[in-house]
Structure formats: C-alpha cells, structure tokens
Amino acid sequence: MDGTVIDYAAVFQALPGMVALLTPDLVVADANVEFLRGTGRSREQVVGRSLFEVFPENPHDPAATGMRNLEASLRRAVTTGERDAMALQRYDVENPERPGEWDERYWSPVNTPVLGPDGSVVLVVHRVEEVTELIRARGRRDTSRVGSRARVLEAELYTRARELQQLNERLRQAHAREREVALALQEAMLPARPQVKYRQVAVRYRPAVGALNVCGDWYDLVDLVGGNRIGVSVGDVVGHGLEAAGVMGQLRSALSAASRVAGGPAQALDVLGRYAHVVDGAESATAVTTFIDFDDRRITYSSAGHPPPVLVHRDGRVEFLDRATDPPLDARPEPTPRPQAGTRYGAGATLALYTDGLVERRHEDIDTGLTRLAESLARHRDEDPEFLADAVLMELLPPGGATDDTALVIVRL
C-alpha cells in the first residue's frame, strides 16, 4: 500500500449488492444504498430499529414463513459464529407507497457474523439478493409451451428450496438433541470441580470449534492410597463427537481405577494399555499420568505418546517432564512395561498437564507451541491456579477457538 487511507464506510455504501449490518439483537446498525433502494425504505426508517419491526411478516398470508426462517438463520449466525446461507425465500414486503398492500418478493439471503477481538459476535452482515423479477419473468412466458415449462421449473425450484430449508431445520434439531446428550456426557465424565481433597487445582476443558462440546480429550484427578498423594492425568482419544467421547469415558475410568492400586504411574499405564487393546476406537490414544507425593515433594510420571507435563519452579525455571515417554496406548501388539521417571520440586512450584490442542498449530513446529506454553506459565507462576489457567488459555488459544480439543490441569505444589 502507498499509505492511502481507506474509507470503509464509503466502501460499504458503494457495495453493489443489498447489505445491512445488524447487531446481535438484530437491530439494523447500518444499511447500504442498494439495500435501501431495493426495499423502498429511507435510512431513518431502517437504522436503529429491529429488522423485523421494519419488515414484519405478511399478515394476509397465514402460510408465510419468510420472517421466521430469516430470524432463525440470523440467530444461528449469532450463536455459532458461523456463516449461514439460506435457501430461496418468499418474504413479502409492505409497499412503501401503498400502506397495507404487500408485494410478493423472493430473496436469497446470506448471514455472516463479524467477530470481535475476544471471538464473540459483534455484528452480522446480512446480504440479500432479490430474485423476484427472475421469478416473474418466467411466469410471463406461460403463453407458450416453452413458457409453461419454465413456469413448472420455477415452481419446482421453489418447492425444492422449501424442502431443503425444512430438511436443514430437521438436521439442526437433530444436532441440537445430540448436543444436549454431549453436554450431559461432559458433565458426567469431566466434572468441573476436581474430585480430590487437595484444593490448589484448576481444570479447564475447551472443545474444538464446531464440536459438540464433548470430544476425545479428558483429565482425571484421584486421591492415591497411602500417604499424602494424588494422581493427575490427561489423555487424548483420536476423533470427535459422541463416539470419541464414549471411548474417552472408558479410558478415563480405567486409568482412574488402575491408579488407585498401581505401584506407580508406569504400572497404571501398563494396565490402561492392556485395556485399550480391547476397546474399539482406542487406537493411537495417548495419555500421561503423574503421581504427586506432597510429603516427599516428588513427582513420578510416565507418558504414553503424550506431550510432556510442564513443571515451573518457584524461581521461574521450567522443566519438561519428558524422560519417560513411550508409544501411544495400544501401539504395540504385545504389552511391554513402560518407563517411569521422577523429579523433585520446592514449595510454590506449578505443574501443568494439557492436551495437544493447547500447543499444536498447523504449519508450526510443536516446539514453538511448547515454548509459548512455558513462557506463559512462567510469566503467571505467582498467580492463583484459577487465574493462571485462564491466562494460559487466553494467551495460547486462537481468538475464534482452536481446531482441536483442549484440556488443561494446573496444580500448585
């Protein structure tokens, strides 16, 4: 660029299509010249008012669904943060020159959310293409055989568009029901509060963008038998959706039970690996588990193909617990004893376990993400675990959300 300042307001007004900007409450924040011309409304009649106050449903047509369909599409865009393209819609508009008379109009709308710095929807770009004249032109040719056929094709097009709209609505309802099941699974399998006596712990779970809110990542905290000890684990099952969530629940429960009776984290992963061998969908699953002895101030750990836990000492020194890493669960045909290592820590240190959604990015080396995590943990090491967990997620996850699930456990030692 040569330093030219772009007047985006002027660009918006000059757009060749009909475009309106809506707030998340569906109030018109602005409308370009083409939108005002195409709807026959002035700026004063449109801006600052609810879209459906300006363009209500035709009260003389009991079968009209245009307003209801459009509102549903706009609210989906606001809720999901994703673009929503609609099928051809009939949406009649009151004639501005003859109040009380309604003109039959056909539209093809697309609703695109605009995200703010925090990833929330701040505006919706409502773009519509009017096809009324096309529909009418086809209808005017019905005096000939060709025109009659065109009329049939037009009716077929509109019918199929309506059927597509109804099918999409049924699919969305089915997705909503599946999401309710997913949320119930999340609450049952990944409790928001750690189920251990030790309270200097924070846990976080963030689903991938577009996921059902339950996927394959998991965490677990368990009180261990003998002494002042807890086990802390995280794992990752390949895939998304309810199937991956079901496998996740099985592995999490199995490791939780094994940790209570195992002599150490390696033995607990040995048991989990044998169990994963007979669980469909557990192929290539990863896990890491740590046993923390608060009396001895020692962490013992073992990893099955998982990114290493991070230990941040009180003075800011960062230690990756990567001296006991083995292949993922069910990677070997025959079970083999897994390695185990240990390290000591001083009072006030911080331990972080996480899944790869926190540190992996496309077209970026994994070491870059690990370095970013280490720097964030060290920078906020004096903060409360809850604040620290939020700070790490804010600094490492993209504003719109990650494309992979993320689990994070912070333990203040």
* Domain containing residue 76: CATH number: 3.30.450.20
Cα angle value 239/242/248 (rounded, 5°): 65
- Please check whether residues 207 and 309 belong to one and the same domain: yes
- Please check whether residues 57 and 126 belong to one and the same domain: yes
Give the mean pLDDT of the chain: 84
Q: Average of pLDDT values for 46-50? A: 95
Distance CA 48, CA 206 (A): 36
Q: How confident is the model at residue 19 (pLDDT cuts 50, 70, 90)?
A: very high
Q: Is residue 1 part of a domain?
A: no
- The number of beta carbons lying within 10 Å of the beta carbon of residue 49 is 14
- Please check whether residues 183 and 207 belong to one and the same domain: no
Q: What is the pLDDT of residues 93-150, one digit of tens each?
A: 998 888 889 998 888 888 999 999 888 899 999 999 887 776 666 555 544 555 555 5
Q: Is residue 2 part of a domain?
A: no
Q: Which helix (H) or strand (E) holds 148?
A: helix 145-189
- Please check whether residues 272 and 353 belong to one and the same domain: yes
Q: Which domain holds residue 181?
A: 146-189
- Please check whether residues 390 and 241 belong to one and the same domain: yes
Most confident of 201-205, 270-274, 374-378: 374-378
Q: Is residue 206 part of a domain?
A: yes
Q: Average of pLDDT values for 24-34? A: 94
- Please check whether residues 159 and 61 belong to one and the same domain: no
- What residue ranges in 255-400 does DSSP mark as E strands? 286-293, 298-304, 310-312, 318-320, 325-326, 341-344, 350-354
Contacts of 395 (CB under 8 A, 6+ apart): 372, 376
Q: How confident is the model at residue 191 (pLDDT cuts 50, 70, 90)?
A: low
Residue 304 sits in a domain of what CATH number? Answer: 3.60.40.10
- Please check whether residues 81 and 204 belong to one and the same domain: no
Q: Is residue 358 part of a domain?
A: yes
- The number of beta carbons lying within 10 Å of the beta carbon of residue 294 is 14
Largest Cα span, the chain = 94
Q: What is the pLDDT of residues 297-353, one digit of tens each?
A: 999 999 999 999 999 999 999 999 999 999 998 777 777 889 999 999 999 999 999
Number of domains observed in the structure of the chain = 3
What one-character DSSP code corresponds to residue 385?
A: H
Q: Is residue 218 part of a domain?
A: yes
